């Protein structure tokens, strides 16, 4: 691996609810116009005007990230792209190789801009960095020693200390060459129509261990900056957006995606800017111009909502990871400002007050793996870091780690997925879908979710073989706006299809948020489709999981849901948003699979089963 890095540096439901218990998901009724990738059509094979679902991750780290390297990652960007295409790569840890069961459609390595590639050099004792006393701690064979060194460095960085400001850690010549290699590697793996890649990095603002991180993604490698913008330049989001505006003016095409508001302690969706001033229209326009999407679920938990914010939501406690981003297992104290559903409501409120809506986000899921592999499959999970590539380390804890940090690792999720509705699998098509927010997120499952809204839909539209074409022609897809057309309520189309080899579906819900005439925000959850002939949503779907074998049965649940729903409480004077949440039947959590592999009892301090889910981007309604 050392030689590789040295050479790098030298490079300077068809009905109201279809409840089919078969294990094979039916295909979507799409009209697909296939064309070969040639100069005549300019389209790739599989091109569809009504769009296809493409699954991928854009939040992936390798050993070229400082925290990836110090926590045992042994792989590089080239490995990451090979893994996403189905190849086996080194795993580190206990030596188990990493390999996804079903390859992804697209992928982006987004190593941290801070000290990009620098810590990797510390494993070379002959390099200037390798000769530092700190390097001997970071590269120690004792995980407890290396983890403490990482923790001390992270604390120093988060609190403005001096260690992280060591000039040798941020050599611009080396960091430029690493960024060039990241771009080159992405370009080398990009195959239009087959597998799509994007140049990307992560801006890692972490003031006092409060997460304000953003992944910055470029559509292509045209006119890219010489170096990635890091939080060492500034930890203010406003300054990142200013840099993005300048970079865009210089010819690049880019966007940013924030994540882990759950670890921000109320800062991610604050109603004030970085200087403590109330949000203005200018702030709103700048934020939304630069970051159209939000990452709702990943390894460090799900940030849709929290029981404290949504006490009437029985599914609000899903995969919560309730920590700030230090190594002391500190708990956040502010829920508001940390979770997306509350932010969506606050955005409506700010808009009603004339400040615009700064939280008008589309939704994706993602990974945040630091070992090149997204490891999104619950029964194929290999951890966030290289040192977790051992089921005993994941479930019982890395030897020498404090108990609180062992619990943090057990509470990690397996990671999420981004679903993109695009005409074809190319950079331009997938990037444009992100811009228009025709996206959905999942907790790792490859269920497909479609969501349309209109004031003109006939409830019988889903019986028409051309329903999808008509839905686009007479309505709007997820991520879009509905405007008032009188007093009639909007009708929505929801289609949810289970993962082909995955679990059946429990239910489809529509979550609505709105602002009333008194300036109060509200939310309500509607069960619009239930499996197994249930009428009452309070009746659980059941649980077939055998904890002794980590197996489950698809004898309950539905293969797909395909239905229309009209808001029964619509008020044309109230601004509102609607988004879909699809929930699967219970299946074994990754930690249960690991316990069975190790032949030990399933732990009782973490959930033993999981009801994986997907979330559509919202559709917003604005009154006259």
Among 262, 257, 585, which residue's Cα sits nearest to residue 437? 257
Q: Compute the Cα dihedral for 469, 473, 474, 477 and give only its sign.
A: positive
pLDDT at 506 over 90: yes
Distance CA 329, CA 9 (A): 36
Q: Provide the pLDDT for residue 24.
A: 37
Tell me the pLDDT tens digit for each residue of 22-53: 333 434 433 333 334 555 678 999 999 999 99
* Structure-token match 């530092």, residue found: 132
Q: Provide the pLDDT for residue 12.
A: 31
Among 384, 443, 413, 374, which residue's Cα sits nearest to residue 590? 413
pLDDT at 3 over 70: no
Q: Provide the pLDDT for residue 71.
A: 87
* DSSP structure class, residue 121: G
The chain-wide mean pLDDT, for the chain, equals 92
Could you tell me the two tokens for 36? 């070969």
pLDDT at 598 over 50: yes
Q: Provide the pLDDT for residue 38.
A: 54
* DSSP structure class, residue 586: P
Distance CA 363, CA 617 (A): 5
pLDDT at 440 over 50: yes
Measured between alpha carbons, how far is residue 613 from residues 64, 319, 366, 507 in Å?
Answer: 32, 11, 13, 10
Q: Using alpha carbons only, give the angle 409, 390, 72 rounded to the nearest 5 degrees.
A: 75
**What count of residues does the chain have?**
624
Q: Mean pLDDT over residues 493-500, rounded?
A: 98
Measured between its terminal Cα atoms, the distance across the chain in Å is 61
pLDDT at 5 over 60: no
Distance CA 155, CA 149 (A): 10
Distance CA 8, CA 335 (A): 43
Q: Phi and psi of 546, rounded to 5°?
A: -100, 110
Query: Do 582 and 558 contact (CB within 8 A), yes or no?
Result: no
Q: Provide the pLDDT for residue 161.
A: 84
Q: Mean pLDDT over residues 540-547, rounded?
A: 98
pLDDT-derived band at 487 (thresholds 50, 70, 90) equals confident
Q: Provide the pLDDT for residue 155.
A: 87
Q: Provide the pLDDT for residue 18.
A: 39
Q: What is the residue extent of each domain of the chain?
A: 52-437, 479-622
Helix (H) or strand (E) holding 471: helix 467-474
Distance CA 136, CA 134 (A): 5
pLDDT-derived band at 371 (thresholds 50, 70, 90) equals very high
Distance CA 121, CA 5 (A): 8
pLDDT-derived band at 140 (thresholds 50, 70, 90) equals confident
pLDDT at 183 over 80: yes
**Beta strands, E only, 338-424:** 362-364, 417-422
Distance CA 358, CA 361 (A): 8
Distance CA 453, CA 490 (A): 7
* DSSP structure class, residue 304: S
Q: Provide the pLDDT for residue 166.
A: 79
Q: Provide the pLDDT for residue 347.
A: 98
Q: Mean pLDDT over residues 53-79, rounded?
A: 95
């Amino acid at each position: 691996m050392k030689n590789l890095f040295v050479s790098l540096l030298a490079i300077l439901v068809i009905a109201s609810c279809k409840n089919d218990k078969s294990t094979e998901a039916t295909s979507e009724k799409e009209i697909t116009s296939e064309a070969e990738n040639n100069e005549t059509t300019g389209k790739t094979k599989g091109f569809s005007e009504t769009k296809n679902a493409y699954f991928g991750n854009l939040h992936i780290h390798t050993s070229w990230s400082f925290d990836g390297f110090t926590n045992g990652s042994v792989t590089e960007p080239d490995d990451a792209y090979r893994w996403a295409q189905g190849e086996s790569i080194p795993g580190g840890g206990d030596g188990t190789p990493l390999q996804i069961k079903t390859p992804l459609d697209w992928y982006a390595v987004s190593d941290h801009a801070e000290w990009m590639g620098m810590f990797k050099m510390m494993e070379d004792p002959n390099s200037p960095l390798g000769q530092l006393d700190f390097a001997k701690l970071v590269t120690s064979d004792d995980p407890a020693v290396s983890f403490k060194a990482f923790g001390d460095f992270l604390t120093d960085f988060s609190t403005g200390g001096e260690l992280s400001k060591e000039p040798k850690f941020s050599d611009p010549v080396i960091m430029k060459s690493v960024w060039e290699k990241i771009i080159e590697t992405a370009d080398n793996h990009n195959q239009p129509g087959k597998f799509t890649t994007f140049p990307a990095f992560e801006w890692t603002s972490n003031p006092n261990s409060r997460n304000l991180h953003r992944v910055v993604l470029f559509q292509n490698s045209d006119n890219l900056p010489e170096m990635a913008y890091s939080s060492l330049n500034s930890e203010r989001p406003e300054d990142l957006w200013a840099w993005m505006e300048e970079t865009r003016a210089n010819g690049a095409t880019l966007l940013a995606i924030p994540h882990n508001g759950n670890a921000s302690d109320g800062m991610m969706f604050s109603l004030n800017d970085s200087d403590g001033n109330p949000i203005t229209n200018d702030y709103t326009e700048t934020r939304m111009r630069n970051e159209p999407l939000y990452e709702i679920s990943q390894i460090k938990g799900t940030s849709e909502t929290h029981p404290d914010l949504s006490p009437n939501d029985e599914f609000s406690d899903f995969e919560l990871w309730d920590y700030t981003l230090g190594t002391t297992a500190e708990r956040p104290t502010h829920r508001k400002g940390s979770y997306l559903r509350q932010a969506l409501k606050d955005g409506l409120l700010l808009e009603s007050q004339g400040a615009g809506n700064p939280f008008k986000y589309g939704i994706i899921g993602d990974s945040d793996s630091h070992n090149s592999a997204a490891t999104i499959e619950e029964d194929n999970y290999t951890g966030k870091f290289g040192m977790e590539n051992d089921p005993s380390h994941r479930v019982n804890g890395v030897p020498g780690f404090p108990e609180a940090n062992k619990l943090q690792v057990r509470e990690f999720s397996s990671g999420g997925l981004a679903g993109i509705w695009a005409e074809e699998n190319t950079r331009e098509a997938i990037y444009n879908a992100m811009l228009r927010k025709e996206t959905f997120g999942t907790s790792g499952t490859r269920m497909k979710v479609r969501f349309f809204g209109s004031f003109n839909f006939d409830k019988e539209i889903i019986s028409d073989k051309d329903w999808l074409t008509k839905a686009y022609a007479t309505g709007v897809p997820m991520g879009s706006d509905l405007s008032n057309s009188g007093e009639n309520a909007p009708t929505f189309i929801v289609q949810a299809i289970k993962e082909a080899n995955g679990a059946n579906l429990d239910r489809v819900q529509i979550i609505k948020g709105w602002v009333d005439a008194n300036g109060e925000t509200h939310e309500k959850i509607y069960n619009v489709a239930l499996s197994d002939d249930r009428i009452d949503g309070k009746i659980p779907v059941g649980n077939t999981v055998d904890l002794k074998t980590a197996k489950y049965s698809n004898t309950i649940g539905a293969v797909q849901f395909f239905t229309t729903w009209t808001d029964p409480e619509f008020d044309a004077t109230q601004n509102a948003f609607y988004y879909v949440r699809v929930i699967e039947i219970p299946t074994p959590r990754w930690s249960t699979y690991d316990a069975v592999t190790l032949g030990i009892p399933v732990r009782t301090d973490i959930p033993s089963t999981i009801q994986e889910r997907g979330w559509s981007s919202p559709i917003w309604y604005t009154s006259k």
